[in-house]
Amino acid sequence: MKKHIQLFSFLLLLTTVQRASAQCFQFTAEHVDLLSVTWSSESTQISLMASDDTHGNLYASNQCVVICPESMKFSLPSGTPLGNEGDPLWILPQNPYSNVPYVGVSAERVLSEVFGSAVTIQLTRLEGPGQLIVWQASSFGNIDVKMDSRDGIGAGDAITIPVGGHAHYNWGFTTNGIYRAYFRASGFRVGQTTGTISPETPFTFHILPLRPFESWTATHWPCECDTHIIGPSADPDGDRMINVIEYAFGNDPKVALYTNVPDVSFVTDGTTNYWAFRYVRATKATDITFSVEGASSIGGSSESLTNRIVVAPGGKSEIITVRDLSSKPTTSRFFKLKLELLYP
């Protein structure tokens, strides 16, 4: 009797694939010039780094993450360009708050004898569950929006900083989750008419609370920005189990080992035998839906299997056994496990 699981391709790998992890510093209450324009006389290039003014450290974008606590979630009043009255907005403020990162923009590391009067920092793209708004508010209540992804991202989403200058802005996020905002700095060197442009550089924000899959991602790759590594459909360890499957089954996404793989057996009800499909579900993967289907052929119509006859709970995972609809036949049966990630 043939048994077939239609889930994903199996290829046993006897080696492990590991990726070196960079240092990851979490900004939770520091004064950080997250977009600090730096100049290298050796490479004659400019770049964007995070300058920790509290501790005097400098971090590359894949070495740091900015944490916005849930306490900085506000409901918008009426009459602002930031959204409708009552809309939520998580704000990293332009003025210091206790136990909140104080996020600035700086061109203090750019020399006036090398560059002209100013450099420009432009938002180039945004990855995340919501939108980003960057603005300054005056003491008279005026709001000057500098970057706003709600209407698309273009040349106007930019901040100009005088060489040697430093400024702070409000950073607003329309919902909680993990964001990666990409920026590019540019300016003109003295005596040149062709601009000098930095590489496109992503910076990561964790706007709390994180959703379950985001928390899993942040645990394994706290500062990683590459979606080919951290994305739901990525397979960073090369074991042909994509991240969403590793997450759903409670596996380690950085080690190429097959564990918690679904299988097929049979169960007895009275004197009748039935095929049964068994899989593992990580208890923390509450934003994953599981559904099992059975069919008589690969291309034939399938039936949804909902008769969960055994649920074996555990600490970090549970084993679920689903019974087939028909009694154990003398021909092949094909089973499919569908996983759906619930994400905005």
- For the full predicted model, state whether its pTM sits above 0.75: yes
Asked whether the beta carbons of 126 and 181 are under 8 A apart, the reply is yes
Per DSSP, 63 falls in state: G
Q: Across all residues in the chain, what is the average pLDDT?
A: 89
- How high is the pLDDT of residue 300? 81
Find residue 19's DSSP bridge partners.
Answer: none
Question: What is the layout of strands, in order, in the sheet containing 88-92?
Answer: 73-75, 88-92, 170-173, 132-137, 143-148
**Where do the structural domains in the chain lie, given as residue ranges?**
3-14+259-341, 25-229
Q: Rounded mean pLDDT of 253-262?
A: 90
Q: Regarding beta strands 3-6 and 333-341, do their DSSP bridges make them parallel or antiparallel, or are they unpaired?
A: parallel
Q: Tell me which of 70-74, 218-222, 326-330, 336-340 is least confident.
A: 326-330
Cis upstream peptide for 209 (omega within 30°): yes
What is the C-alpha R_g of the chain?
Answer: 26
Q: Does domain 3-14+259-341 have CATH number 2.60.40.10?
A: yes
In degrees, rounded to 5, the angle at the alpha carbon of residue 334 between the alpha carbons of residues 328 and 336 is 120
Q: Decide if pLDDT at 61 tops 60.
A: yes
Q: Tell me which of 47-56, 204-213, 298-307, 326-335 is least confident.
A: 326-335
Query: Tens digits of per-residue pLDDT, 78-111?
Result: 999 999 999 999 999 999 999 999 999 999 999 8
Query: Tens digits of per-residue pLDDT, 203-221?
Result: 999 999 999 999 999 999 9
Q: Decide if pLDDT at 173 tops 90.
A: yes
- How high is the pLDDT of residue 219? 95
- How high is the pLDDT of residue 42? 84
- Sequence-distant (6+) residues with CB within 8 A of 64 are 24, 25, 26, 27, 32, 50, 203, 204, 223
